Chains A and B, each alone.
Chain A
Amino acid sequence: MSKLFVSCEEATAICNKNQYKEASFWEKMKLQIHLFICKKCGLYSKQNATITKVCNRYLDSDDHPHTLSEHDKEIMQHSIEEKIDI
């Protein structure tokens, strides 16, 4: 079993993975132990949760399909026809 005490760098890495609910049980344990003893990472963790909230609130793929303009299509069509002719 890997060590229970991790560095700030490792703890924040787990914290980031955990924002997507993809941290394992052991990773979450190590994070909790670290947060218990480290105020800096405690602050990071709290702010990271806010960032996740902000992302969930404001980042969403729009459902409108992106389309090419008729002009772009004409150019593409033209260059394909040129290559076919060769």
Chain B
Amino acid sequence: MPENPKHILNPNNWVTLHSDYLFNYVITRVDNEELAKDIVQETFFSGLKAQHNFRGQASERTWLISILKRKIIDYYRKINSTKGKAEIKVNFYQDGDRKGSWLEERVPKMWDNEAEKNIENEELKVTLNNCIDNLPEKYRMVFVMKNVQHYETEEICNELGITASNLWVIIHRARHQLRKCLEDNWFAK
């Protein structure tokens, strides 16, 4: 036992003191209540198992958050390796003479002028959210952290354990899919 630790752990009070804070932290990142609940629960379980590693230097909450962050990275790695295989459609020739040029069927179509000028429409908001929800999870997660939560690029990279160039590839693909989805369901339909 360390002598006079500044902070002590009291697992009996974790739910009362920290569950809402942790839940809120996760949900701004994964945007799924059930999943967020599971991650919070797992964090508490891991905390219980790792109690002996707590040296009392950080507050109980800070310590729990550090465990929670690991859980979020683990989750991201999981979707990145499994479900992430459900890839986004390719938009450009990948090899040959025309490498990097638009595939014919993916070239942007002309949009309805009125629709493009008039973006004040609650139904557009619904369509936008549907299009975002249809993104593969790893793309959706990064896009939401960047566009909804407005996290800095560096912060997202640190939290998910990815490089800035990974992040831009993900954003690039997500936005291509989003543009196409909004084209098909709103601007050019």
Interface of A toward B, CB cutoff 8 Å: 6-10, 12-13, 16-17, 19-20, 22, 40, 43-44, 47-48, 50-51, 53-55, 57-61, 65-68, 72-73, 76-77, 79-81, 83-84
Shortest distance from the beta carbon of A80 to any chain B beta carbon, whole Å? 6
Instruction: Tell me whether B107 is interfacial, beta carbon within 8 Å.
Output: yes
Instruction: Tell me whether B100 is interfacial, beta carbon within 8 Å.
Output: yes
Interface of B toward A, CB cutoff 8 Å: 11-12, 14-16, 19-20, 23-24, 27-28, 33, 36-37, 40-41, 44-45, 48, 91-92, 99-102, 107-108, 110-111, 116, 119-120, 124-125, 128-129, 132, 146-150, 153, 168-169, 171-172, 175-176, 178-179, 182-183, 187
Shortest distance from the beta carbon of B182 to any chain A beta carbon, whole Å? 6
B15 touching A61, Cβ below 8 Å: no
Which residue from A10, A51, A76, A77 sits with its C-beta under 8 Å from B178? A51
Can you list the 7 inter-chain pairs with the closest CB atoms, starting with the nearest? A7-B100, A9-B92, A9-B100, A58-B125, A77-B15, A16-B172, A43-B108
Q: Which of B108, B129, B148, B176 has the most CB of A within 10 A?
A: B108
- With contacts A47-B187, A65-B24 taken as known, whether A76 is within 8 angstroms of B175 at the C-beta atoms is no
Given the complex of chains A and B, what is the CA–CA distance between A80 and B125 in angstroms?
A: 41
Shortest distance from the beta carbon of B72 to any chain A beta carbon, whole Å? 15
A76 touching B41, Cβ below 8 Å: yes
Given the complex of chains A and B, what is the CA–CA distance between A38 and B125 in angstroms?
A: 31
Q: Which of A8, A57, A67 has the most CB of B within 10 A?
A: A8
Shortest distance from the beta carbon of B95 to any chain A beta carbon, whole Å? 12
- With contacts A16-B172, A76-B19 taken as known, whether A48 is within 8 angstroms of B128 at the C-beta atoms is no
B20 touching A68, Cβ below 8 Å: yes
28 pairs, A vs B, C-beta closer than 8 Å = A7-B92, A8-B102, A9-B91, A9-B100, A13-B169, A16-B171, A16-B172, A16-B176, A17-B171, A17-B172, A20-B171, A44-B179, A47-B111, A47-B183, A57-B120, A58-B124, A58-B125, A59-B128, A59-B132, A59-B148, A61-B28, A61-B149, A67-B23, A72-B37, A73-B19, A80-B15, A83-B45, A84-B12
Q: Which residues of A contact B20 (CB under 8 A)?
A: 65-68
Q: Which residues of A contact B132 (CB under 8 A)?
A: 59
Shortest distance from the beta carbon of A17 to any chain B beta carbon, whole Å? 6
B37 touching A40, Cβ below 8 Å: no
Q: Which residues of A contact B107 (CB under 8 A)?
A: 40
Shortest distance from the beta carbon of A9 to any chain B beta carbon, whole Å? 4
